[in-house]
Amino acid sequence: MNQSKIKKISLNLYSTIVKIDAAPLGKGYKTQSILSAKRYLDETFDNFSNKVYLSTHQDEEMQNRIIDSFSEKDSFIDELSNSKEGVCLRCYVSHFVLQACQERFIRFSLGGKRFQLRDLLPLVLNDDGKPLPSSRTDKFFIPYSFQILQEYLELKSNSRKGLNRWTLM
């Protein structure tokens, strides 16, 4: 197979989160490296430690291993919030949430006449990578990335689409 046609996925997608940047002159988003996610990847996936990019197959393998590490607990939100695996998935999803926003901006904004990209971002790019308060409390906020991951994991089957494709839908 021609090497130029192989899709490469950055390993950093699992350890950097895309989050809102409220600076008035910025793009509306910024990325932040999450050290605990990077350490988890280095410790758990030593066969990928010297890689910068993953093939599609390696990406799917990594996703499935991380997803399979979640137990069938009552408190998925707490597990996603407080585990290193959950932070890796939240980072990964944030990049595709941004991509979906960019695609919708290009498609529907009429070149920025209807709305700006930064108008969309606060609605869905609202995860900062930090642990949430326990879901057992009366009032707590659930970021959009949690909702995507929860749906994805609930509908998990042998024929599931990749998490990146699921997020873009």
pLDDT in tens, 21-39: 988 888 999 999 999 999 9
Q: What is the mean pLDDT of residues 76-83?
A: 78
C-alpha to C-alpha distance for 8 and 100, rounded to whole angstroms: 19
Name the pLDDT band for 114 (thresholds 50, 70, 90): confident
Binned at pLDDT 50, 70 and 90, residue 158 comes out as very low
Task: List the one residue out of 150, 149, 93 whose CA is nearest residue 125.
Answer: 93
pTM score, two decimals? 0.86
Place of tokens 């991951």: 149
Q: What is the mean pLDDT of residues 94-98?
A: 95
Per-residue pLDDT at 142 exceeds 60: yes
Burial 24-41 (b: 16+ CB within 10 A, else e): eeeebbebeebeebbebb
- Residues 6 or more apart whose CB falls under 8 angstroms from that of 10 comprise 52, 53, 54
Q: Give the pLDDT of residue 36.
A: 93
Which of helix, strand or coil describes residue 67?
helix
> What per-residue confidence (pLDDT) applies to 2?
47
Q: What's residue 98's pLDDT?
A: 96
